[in-house]
A and B are shown apart, each in its own frame.
Chain A
Amino acid sequence: MNKSFVIGAGLSVVFLLLALLSFVWTPYDIETLDIPNKLQGLSGSHLLGTDHFGRDILSMIMMGARTSIAVALLAVGIGLLLGVPLGLIAAAKHGSFLDELIMRGNDLVFAFPSLVIAILITAVFGASAINAIIAIGIFNIPVFARLTRAAALPLWERDFVLAARVCGKPPARISIEHILPNITNLMIVQGTIQFSLGILAEAALSYIGLGAQPPTASWGRMLADAQTLVSIAPHTALVPGFTILLMVLGLNLLGDGLRDWIDPKLRLIRT
């Protein structure tokens, strides 16, 4: 176990638990506004203070964690579900027209800056958490497709695959039974990285008002709301800002740690 893995896993688990806890309990109800108590600092009754509507910021962070994790998880899910099969097909039909079609299609999606297209999608179809998930998810497809194809290609040259082919197994079965299990580790590591990018993307979209709509809590919107309050109530901006920072840092460290752990060659080099 290396240090970055422990720290990363620790941070990620804390936020995951906060999000899970919010389903059963939050310190305050964030749908009820308490305007007379707005912009209070950190105190015993409000651990992280209150925002401009008198809502408890800790409760908002907990509910926001739920939104962030849900959006990022589903976006990674879309990427895995569509990207991995595409990559497997491309690798199995290596050099064919289908391979070209899939990979150039991926290049096409990859060519556009992801956030710009996400803005376009949410602007055309309306701003909502669902559309944010789809917009972020689409950009995970080529990431996973490319990685899958790149990792699968050398496997197709290996003797055990050759043996399977000699036995007459169709390429689809070889892909599922022999190729997929060998690239799962890689997908987990990449999934963690994409997950953290998804959290960032969700925060960015919400910040510009294209993510989850009020009253759904979102870290990005908390930041946006706090923008003019920085000079009078800095905690309203600092708390969600650091939350996003820690969550993304945690996931990146976790991804790093996982990669070192999973790939023995890398581990040998590092130690």
Chain B
Amino acid sequence: MKHTIFTASVCALFASIAAAQTDITVAIQLEPPNLDPTGGAAQAIDSVLYSNIFEGLTRFEGDGSVVPGLAQSWVISEDGTVYTFTLREGVTFHDGTTMDADDVKFSLDRARAEDSTNAQKGLFADITDVTVVDPLTVEVKLDGPNGNFPFNMAWGDAVIVAPESIENIASNPVGTGAFVFSDWVQGDRLEMTRNENYWGEAPALESATFRFISDATAAFAAVMAEDVDVFVGFPAPENLPQFEADPRFQVLVGNTEGETILSTNNKMPPFDNVLVRQAVALAIDRQAIIDGAMFGLGTPIGTHFAPHNPDYVDLLTNSPYDPERAKALLAEAGFADGFTTTLKLPPPSYARRGGEIIASQLREIGISAEITNLEWAQWLEEVFKAKDYGLSIVSHTEPMDIGIYANPDYYFQYDNPEFQALMEELNKTTDPAARSALLAQAQTIISEDYVNGYLFELAVATVAKADIQGLWVNQPTAAVDLTGVSWGE
């Protein structure tokens, strides 16, 4: 009898080896503070939930293109102000309720409401009315034409939620996605299982576990020990060559929408003087920062725009590394002896290491930047909200976010009516060629005004087991989309 059990278990063991694995453990750096992508600002919320649990009317693909999501098609009125979305049939939420036009109206009205806590209310700002035509048709009226509307609706902040489950969304997210939320052990992991009633193509994975490891050393150990199968956004670029050399792993390096900039407080003297800002820009050796802080990962940028975007204009020539001219500019601005300012740095290594390099480069032209290291919460409070800073380094990971320069209350405090008018015009323009021209103009204005020091486009490194397929290489939005992921044979 014992013998039979033994044989059976050996057979079972071999069977499980032969069949492809159907579960996956994915690590990311930060844990989401809550699970409501329509209410919280943290990028980690989208990383875990986007496309896996929640879906929007449209969605991002791994290459950054926008494709139909819960809306299978849409029609734009002649004047460009009315979008009529036709929803997919037979879509249900994970709790069994059907997803229909009422849910879409609920989600959009909730996001744009006065008291909404949505982190990207700007996405919904031009909606004037949402009407339910029939259960599968929704009409969205805008206050002007907006060629970007389908793109806006693809964001994680615009996913469709249901009124039936909204109350507990922050701890028990109920969406329409290919995976169903099953458990969240705070501080440790979040688990999800395959949605057997999914409307689209069923994912290859049966279950997925997200783990949160922010410490670079612990991340390295977890991947090396194979505690995790995938690490998206691996925090220590210096360790990547070791993974590349190891046949157990594959390393994917992709681009993100993260413009890493030397944020400058444009209202704080002496940075209110464009000559000083230009001097700072010329004092920065971008390649040294990319090599020193990122171990070579990253693309230099000359303006606040992603280089892989077709509308990107190469403006690096506006701010070449030229410390001599920088010194001359400082003298012209009346700061021949330099000055002292603050450099407040959030935790990521691009900021902490980059900050030390920039402080050293600024010292060369006589500017003494006093470094203060801050945790994220402190950074949001002191720099982002209170605007109590001279310089800071941060990566702006939202896609197509050049519009933030039109907001004079944003933490750079850049107030340029010309740029604000340009952005208004851009929002009204639907013609692609005209939009490109306007975007080019916008990039040039902020580059020539030296609003911030433009450093590099953040790269994202994903370390995964060698036989995992279908991972996103690039991060067009913060997401770890597992719907297309599978283990190779």
Chain A residues near B (Cβ < 8 Å): 31-33, 35-36, 38, 52-54, 126-127, 209, 213-215, 227-232
Contacts and interface: CB of A to CB of B under 8 A. Distances in A.
A230 B220 CA distance: 11
B373 interface: yes
Contacts of B371: 213-215
Contacts of A127: 372-373
A232 B237 CA distance: 12
Contact of B291 (A35, A228, A229, A230): A35
B356 A35 contact: no
B359 A228 contact: no
B359 A214 contact: yes
Given A35-B291, A38-B292, A127-B373, A53 B238 contact: no
B292 A52 contact: yes
A36 B357 CA distance: 13
A215 B356 contact: yes
Q: Tell me what chain A mostly uses at the interface: helix, strand, loop, or mixed.
A: loop
B356 A53 contact: yes
B487 to A, nearest CB: 28
B288 interface: yes
B400 to A, nearest CB: 32
A112 B341 CA distance: 37
Contacts of B372: 126-127, 213
11 contacts: A31-B360, A52-B292, A53-B353, A53-B356, A127-B372, A213-B373, A214-B356, A214-B359, A228-B238, A232-B238, A232-B241
A60 to B, nearest CB: 12
A227 B220 CA distance: 11
Contacts of B216: 227-228
Nearest to A229: B238
B52 to A, nearest CB: 29
A19 to B, nearest CB: 22
Contacts of A52: 238, 292, 353
> What's the interface size class on B, roughly?
20 to 34
B238 A32 contact: no
Interface string B226-267: 000000000010110110000000000000000000000000
Given A227-B217, A228-B220, A231-B242, A209 B360 contact: no
A54 B353 CA distance: 13
B88 interface: no
Interface in B168-219: 216-217
B356 A231 contact: no
Given A35-B291, A38-B292, A215 B360 contact: yes
Given A52-B353, A213-B371, A228-B217, A35 B288 contact: yes
A53 B357 contact: yes
Nearest to B345: A214
Contact of A33 (B236, B241, B288): B288
Nearest to A230: B217
Given A209-B373, A213-B373, A214-B371, A33 B360 contact: yes
B363 interface: yes
Nearest to A38: B292
Interface in B361-375: 363-364, 370-373
Contacts of A229: 238
B86 to A, nearest CB: 51
A64 to B, nearest CB: 15
A164 to B, nearest CB: 54
Contacts of B288: 33, 35
A36 B239 CA distance: 18
Interface string B335-361: 000000000000000000101110110
Nearest to B359: A215
A257 B288 CA distance: 49
B236 A228 contact: yes
A139 B446 CA distance: 52
A124 to B, nearest CB: 12
A215 B239 CA distance: 25
Contacts of A33: 288, 292, 356-357, 360
Q: Which of B220, B292, B355 has the most CB of A within 10 A?
A: B292
A98 B288 CA distance: 61
A44 to B, nearest CB: 24
Given A31-B360, A53-B357, A214-B356, A232 B217 contact: no
Contacts of A32: 360, 364
Contacts of A38: 291-292
Nearest to A127: B373
Contacts of B291: 35-36, 38
Contacts of B356: 33, 53, 214-215
A100 B412 CA distance: 56
Nearest to B217: A227
Contacts of B359: 214-215
A231 B373 contact: no
Given A52-B238, A215-B371, A230-B217, 4 more contacts: A31-B360, A35-B288, A54-B292, A127-B372
Contacts of B241: 232
Nearest to B369: A215
Interface in B456-479: none
Contacts of B242: 231-232
Contacts of A36: 291
Interface centre among A52, A53, A228, A231 (most CB of B within 10 A): A228
B357 A35 contact: yes
A194 to B, nearest CB: 28
Nearest to B373: A209
A231 B373 CA distance: 26
